[in-house]
Amino acid sequence: MIKPQHLAGQFIAYSAFAVMIAYFASSPPYQHHPQESALVRLSLTHAGQRVGDCKERSPDELAKLPPNMRAKQNCGRERNQVTLEMDIDGKTVYSQTAKPAGLSGDGRSRFYDSREVPAGRHVIRARMRDGGKPDGFDYDEQVEVELAPRQVFVIDFDEEDKKLSFE
C-alpha cells in the first residue's frame, strides 16, 4: 500500500517524469533548412559507356556457343567512370568523378548532392562525361529557374531521352 505521505511525492515525481518525456518528445524545435532558402538536389545514377568496342560474332563463333549464350555481339563488361559538374550562377559548386559500381566495374556511377540556395532566379548548368575522351562533356544542359522558398529543385538524368533533366 502507498503511504499517505508518499502520495503527494508520487504526484510530483510522475508529473515531472511526464513533463520530461513530453517536452523532449517534440522540443526544442530544430531548424533544418532556412524558411527562405530553396534546395538544389542532384541525384543521379548513370552507367558510363563501355570501355571496349563491341565485336560482331561470326556465324561460326555463334554456333560454337551454347544456345542460351548466342548474343550477336561480344562486349566487354567494364564501363568508363563518369564525371559530373554543376554550376550555379556561373560558379562551379560540384565536380565529381565516380567509378562504376561492381567488382567488374560494370555498374552505374552514383552522384548525390544537396545544397541550399537563396530563393529567387538562378542559372543552373549541369554537364556530364561518360565516355573515354579526356576532355569535353557528352551532355551539357543549362536552365534558368525561379526558385520559391523551400522548393526542392532536382537534377537527374533521363535515361529514356538520354539527357540531363531539371524539375
Partner 1 sequence: MSNPIKSALRAGLFRVESGWDTLVGRESNPMYCLGAMSWFFFWVVGASGLYLFIPYDTSAARAWGSIEHISREQWYWGGMFRSLHRYASDAMVLTMMLHLLREWLMERYHGARWFAWFTGVPLIWMVFSSGITGYWLVWDELAQYLAIGTAEWLDWLGIFGQSIARNFITPAALTDRFFTLLIFIHIAVPLFLLFAMWIHILRINNVNTNPPRQLIIGTALMLVALSLLHPAQSHPAADLGKATAVLNPDWYFMALYPLYDKQGPAIAWTVSIGASVFLCLMPWMALRRKRRPAAVVSPPNCNGCGVCTFDCPFGAVVMRPRNDESGHAQIAVVQPDLCTSCGMCMASCNRTNPFLPHEEPRQTGIDIPDFTFDLIVKRISARSHGLVGDNRVLVLGCEHGAKLDHMKGPSVGVLELQCTGALPPSVIDYILNKDLADGVLVTACRPGECFYRLGPEWTELRLKGERVPKLRGAVPRERVKLSWAASTETKGLMTELAEFRVALAELPKQVRPESTKRRVAE
| Residue numbers at the binding site for partner 1 (CB under 8 A) | 2-3, 6, 9-10, 12-15, 17-18, 20-22, 24-27, 29-35, 37-39, 41, 43, 45, 101, 107, 110, 112, 114, 116, 150-152, 154, 156, 167
| Cell numbers that stand for 123 in this block | 542559372
Nearer to partner 1, 57 or 115 (CB): 115
Minimal distance, residue 21 CB to partner 1, in Å: 5
Minimal distance, residue 62 CB to partner 1, in Å: 32
Minimal distance, residue 136 CB to partner 1, in Å: 27
Nearer to partner 1, 15 or 49 (CB): 15
Q: Of 113, 120, 121, nearest to 93 (Cα)?
A: 113
Report the C-alpha gap between 123 and 94 in whole angstroms. 14
Q: Of 106, 89, 100, 62, nearest to 144 (Cα)?
A: 89
Nearer to partner 1, 17 or 52 (CB): 17
Q: Of 110, 133, 128, 111, nearest to 51 (Cα)?
A: 133
Nearer to partner 1, 74 or 156 (CB): 156
Minimal distance, residue 105 CB to partner 1, in Å: 14
Contact assessment for residue 101 and residue 86, using Cβ atoms and an 8 Å cutoff: no
Report the C-alpha gap between 100 and 46 in whole angstroms. 9
